[in-house]
Structure 1
């Protein structure tokens, strides 16, 4: 990931969460108190975002020390300690919610992705994400998909040509044959640019393939229709299945012989995994005893 862009995401999140400081910690905690915090898994999953977690605390206070005990892509279980943080208590408490929010979100995506990847094991199908990401968090969510064993589709509208149903509707309204539009697009783009076209009927496949595409997307096809479509393409392009994909259907879709299965749910429907930050305060000479607190 681009470290400058990650830092920008974190700084914006920290500013959003405490635009004028942390009123509670600054009111209740004496200056100079230090805290040691442990990041603990509450349920099983696939870890993602541990370096992002550490970076949040570093950006809040460079003097904070972080001991990372696990790595992205690792299988985690309830009770596992994933990292420890030590530093100024006010800084730790001000950073903890942003650190947890980002790491829980990424870990949830990685965990869901791993379930899809496991469901298509033994086939050639590759599980990929889509642009259905949280605005501003695409880089982190795409990393989480990779940590879960999945792959990334185009990153943005600027990366590849992908003509979908609404593009085709505009062409149809303008009276432009799809094959002619594909050939014209191929003539305009650079030789390294990937060209993909979506179809929603079997009878569209031959025209699209003949016009010269790198990938053909079969949208909302049944597994039997996908199998027929794969046979019609006959290796002349990559075949992507999209639409109607969930954990109940993905295995049958994969067995149809498609190369790629795009799953919007990886990022738009993933549940954040339950991770907790357990904090103990070393208050030293300020109060004279150790204090353990649970954070909501």
Structure 2
């Protein structure tokens, strides 16, 4: 399927690993030009070097949870060119009891998971509307719809991101600009995979058995009964950014393997 993404300029925040990296690779394979973003020069430069064989890759270091650094990122992106696609992927989470999550941690969740998307969208959406072309895709989570008691702060920030996406989409009415959110569920990233592998060893179980038991007892509503791959999530994001998805706007696209038991 031709997605018409050749030479489109794409910014992906938090793209030096995990889902963000997979999204970057998928866009490059479609001929897009990609701006890699992360918090450290070392990680950004390493990723630019790794992915440069796939196409045109730029790197901009910025902690998008900090307003001044977010502003610097915006200026550098505008120097590179007119942004066609904004992927707000940066996010943090920690498994922690609700009563142990203090105010500063709550604020960090919102600065990182929500306000980074607010700031970047506030800058790039008006330009997209003026050009009558563009895509904004916010990477939320199934935890934004299906709250977990050990991830309440994270879930609340992701619910807010879904609401932000729909609200911004309302501003695009009658244009060729769309804003959507994507809701990944349990996804097998490099870092998470290492954590689960170590956890399985600590419990004296082989990895396959540990994963099967996790989905059987902890995620029984999952229809795929496995972790999604980062490539599966990335393919949904790239499709939403394409001309083929121009009729999809204001949606919360699930990529959580059916964990959420709802027809809507």
TM-score, normalised via structure 2 length:
0.30
Higher strand content, 1 or 2: 1
Rg (Cα) greater in structure: 1
* Greater RCO, 1 or 2 (C-alpha within 8 Å, sep 6+): 1
